[in-house]
Amino acid sequence: MPEPRKRGRKPKPKTQTETESESETIMPGTTKNGTVASHSLPATTTTNDSRSTSPARRGRGRPKKMRKHADNSSNDNHNSANNTNSNVGHVASPERSRHGEGNDITILPPRWESVAVKAVPSMDAVVKVFCVHTEPNFSLPWQRKRQYSSSSSGFIVGGRRVLTNAHSVEHHTQVKVKKRGSDTKYLATVLSIGTECDIALLTVKDDEFWEGVSPVEFGDLPALQDAVTVVGYPIGGDTISVTSGVVSRMEILSYVHGSTELLGLQGKCVGIAFQSLKNDDVENIGYVIPTPVIIHFIQDYEKNGAYTGFPILGVEWQKMENPDLRISMGMRPGQKGVRIRRIEPTAPESHVLKPSDIILSFDGIDIANDGTVPFRHGERIGFSYLVSQKYTGDSAVVKVLRNSEVHEFNIKLSTHKRLIPAHINGRPPSYYIIAGFVFTAVTAPYLRSEYGKDYEFDAPVKLLDKLLHAMAQSVDEQIVVVSQVLVADINIGYEEIVNTQVLALNGKPVQNLKSLADMVESSEDEFLKFDLEYQQIVVLKSKTAKEATSDILATHCIPSAMSGDLKT
């Protein structure tokens, strides 16, 4: 049995310099068509917050490809939540297994805070957002962390609403906004948060706030080399800042905040209004979340009264660029498409599509052998862009080649069910305690809490494999682990069990945390036998374990043996 992993993250040499710039609003520049925003999440364009990481020791987990990336964690350096993280490097995307080898390497977009508009609007539409955050403590899930404050940028849109970044108001306890040139902060209400796309929608009840301001108007996707103007409140500044730059790239990006791939726009700043980081390879790189993603978010909220997310086609696919591969799959000359490798068991597509089907088109648009579709003149883009333009519950016509025959299926699209969720939508983490054993469900925030922002390299390999490649077999499936053992006489010999998956209780598989809690509470067996990974077992006397729990809770000042969601 391998030596149990010690708890907490390991100290690491500081191998990278991090700097975060505050969010800003992107406005069109002076080019002939004067439009600057594109389609993706909240605008993270911009200003030059470039980061790089020098090679560090190789940690456990998946192999490091290129560790040059902008750390996008809104939990770190959140002194100003409006950071535009402009990534300067590439990193293997968490979505790589979902979209085939064509997207193995993606550029991580920074936080947004910039949006393109039709014509330079009144700068009075750009506001400063102040937020007090109280984050959950995922390692001690019955507690919350010390509250902290952040500031970021936002801008006024129609309907008496304000758009800002999701990370700017994540785990908020109070949100206020201030207009340009005003000394008054107005209380704001969070209407909706789209963690996937890093956009949040706010409103202000006070009528005085809305006096004398006009909402911004959204423009179309800009062309490459279009000039842009970046407007916002950089770190440490109370007055509005304006810089300019140009659009240098448009592609599908992996949004780190929500681990979702959507359209993104990259810009190279020609003027710097606040902090930046440069290295030998690139400098002054920023990213914009284009208007199509923003509009999708707003219309989703207006249509459903809440943010329902961006749907996906729940398949992993393979390029069909090799001619021998195409012949073996029965493709005729002129036929193009991508081969389905795996299908998400929880996706609606699993009922009609099959592995080794060749996806020829999506909603009538032909897909190339490399997985791209026509975008604009002289440009192509990954076909997942077409899927992201749909709304949850929409239908799409998918044409596939199966056994040399063409079939068409009308598929209802839905959001992605991850075995290890990228976020928990602002809810407190779940936990269950028996005899000092703390059980919890694994999420990306939990891994970040346990192993730091580089958890994708430092977490145990088995957990990383599930994070990156495993598919949920049912909508309620969770990875349940023994997070830690609160030492007491009853658990002698088990103290070093840390972050180890629970597979079964008394021979019955553990489907999720609630099922484990229910089985323990209702058990009439003399012993509780937990089967863990690595062939470990834990055996406790049922009656003694339940009796010891109350004393252990009192010792550690824990109010309850289970989180509120498990009591219902």
- What CATH number is given to the structural domain containing 437? 3.20.190.20
Q: Is the pTM of this model over 0.85?
A: no
Count of CA atoms in the C-beta half-sphere (13 A) of 14 = 2
Under the banding of pLDDT at 50, 70 and 90, the label for residue 280 is low
Q: What is the distance between the alpha carbons of residues 239 and 378, in angstroms, rounded to a whole number?
A: 41
Average pLDDT on 331-347 reads 95
466, 478 contact by CB (below 8 A): no
Say how far apart CA 300 and CA 351 lie, in whole Å.
26
pLDDT at position 97 over 50 = no
- Looking at the predicted structure, is the pLDDT value of residue 92 above 80? no
Would the CA dihedral through 560, 562, 564, 568 be positive or negative? Answer: negative
Q: How confident is the model at residue 540 (pLDDT cuts 50, 70, 90)?
A: very high
Average pLDDT, integer, range 282-292 = 70
Cβ proximity of 129 and 162 under 8 Å: yes
Average pLDDT (505-524) is: 96
> Which segment of 275-289, 310-324, 439-453 scores lowest on mean pLDDT?
275-289
| Same domain (yes/no): 386, 438 | no
Q: Do 150 and 252 sit in the same domain of this protein?
A: yes
CB neighbour class for 248 (10 Å; exposed up to 12, middle 13-18, buried from 19): middle
Same domain for 223 and 333?
no
**What are 50-82's pLDDT values in tens digits?**
333 333 344 444 444 444 444 444 443 333 333
Question: Is residue 32, in this structure, part of any structural domain at all?
Answer: no
Residue 395's domain comprises 315-413
- Looking at the fold, whether 392 and 448 belong to one and the same domain comes out as no
400-402-406 Cα angle (round to 5): 55
Regarding whether 258 and 143 lie in a shared domain, the answer is: yes
Has residue 116 got a pLDDT over 90? no
Residue 527 is given by DSSP the state E
pLDDT at 398: 97
What's the total number of domains in the chain?
A: 3
Q: Is the pLDDT of residue 548 over 50?
A: yes
Confidence of residue 413 (pLDDT cuts 50, 70, 90): very high
Cβ–Cβ < 8 Å for 53, 68: yes
362-380 pLDDT, tens digit each = 999 999 999 999 998 888 9
Q: Would you state the pLDDT for residue 247?
A: 77
For 94-122, give the secondary structure using H, E and C.
CCCCCCCHHHCEECCCCCCCCCCECCCCC
181 in the same domain as 288 = yes
- Out of 413, 447, 469, a domain closes at 413
CA pair distance 390, 178, nearest whole angstrom: 34
Residue 1 or 425, more confident: 425
User: Which CATH number fits the domain that encloses residue 348?
Assistant: 2.30.42.10
Task: Please check whether residues 170 and 273 belong to one and the same domain.
Answer: yes
User: 384-398: string of b/e by CB count within 10 Å (b at 16+)?
Assistant: bbbbbbbbbeeebeb
52 belongs to a structural domain: no
Q: Is residue 118 part of a domain?
A: no
Q: Is residue 16 part of a domain?
A: no
Task: Give the β-pairing of 50-53 and 86-87.
Answer: parallel
CA end-to-end span of the chain: 37
191 DSSP 8-state letter: E
Domain stops at, among 304, 335, 366 = 304
Contact 182, 206 (CB under 8 A): no
pLDDT at 326 exceeding the cut of 90: yes
pLDDT at 269 over 90: no
Are 366 and 323 contained in the same domain? Answer: yes
Query: Is 491 in the same domain as 550?
Result: yes
Q: How confident is the model at residue 426 (pLDDT cuts 50, 70, 90)?
A: confident
pLDDT at 42 over 70: no
Instruction: Output helix, strand, coil percentages for the chain, rounded to the nearest 5.
Output: 15, 30, 50
Mean pLDDT taken over the chain: 78
Let me know: does 530 contact 419? Beta carbons within 8 Å: no
SS3 237: coil
| pLDDT at 461 (0 to 100) | 92
Shared-domain flag, residues 140 and 250: yes
Express each pLDDT in 393-405 by its tens digit.
999 999 999 999 9
Residues 155 and 258 in one domain: yes
| Contact between 342 and 320 (Cβ < 8 Å) | no
Contact predicate 31/257, CB 8 Å = no
Please indicate, yes or no, if residue 567 is contained in any of the structural domains. no
Minimal CA–CA distance to 114: which of 37, 200, 202, 24? 24
Alpha-carbon distance 171 to 190, whole Å?
A: 11
Instruction: Give a yes or no: residue 15 inside a domain.
Output: no
Q: What is the mean pLDDT of residues 152-173?
A: 91
- Model pLDDT for residues 428-459, shown as the tens digit of each residue: 999 999 999 999 999 999 999 999 999 999 99
Residue 112 inside a domain? The answer is: no
Say which residue the tokens 């309620």 belong to: 476
Q: Coil, helix or strand for 289?
A: coil
Question: What is the mean predicted confidence (pLDDT) over 218-247?
Answer: 76
**In this predicted model, what pLDDT tens digit does every residue of 124-140 receive, in sequence order?**
888 999 999 999 999 99
pLDDT attached to residue 277: 35
Residues 501 and 520 reside in one and the same domain: yes
For residue 251, what pLDDT band results from cuts at 50, 70 and 90? confident
| Domain end call among 271, 304, 337 | 304
**Which among 77, 73, 103, 101 is positioned nearest to 87, based on CA atoms?**
73
Model confidence at 417: pLDDT above 90: no
CB atoms within 10 A of CB 241: 20
83 occurs within a structural domain:
no
CATH of residue 213: 2.40.10.120
pLDDT tens sequence across 194-214: 988 888 999 999 999 999 888
Specify the range with the lowest mean pLDDT, choosing from 22-26, 180-184, 294-298, 509-513.
22-26
Distance (Å, whole) CA 478 – CA 419: 6
Q: Is the pLDDT of residue 522 over 70?
A: yes
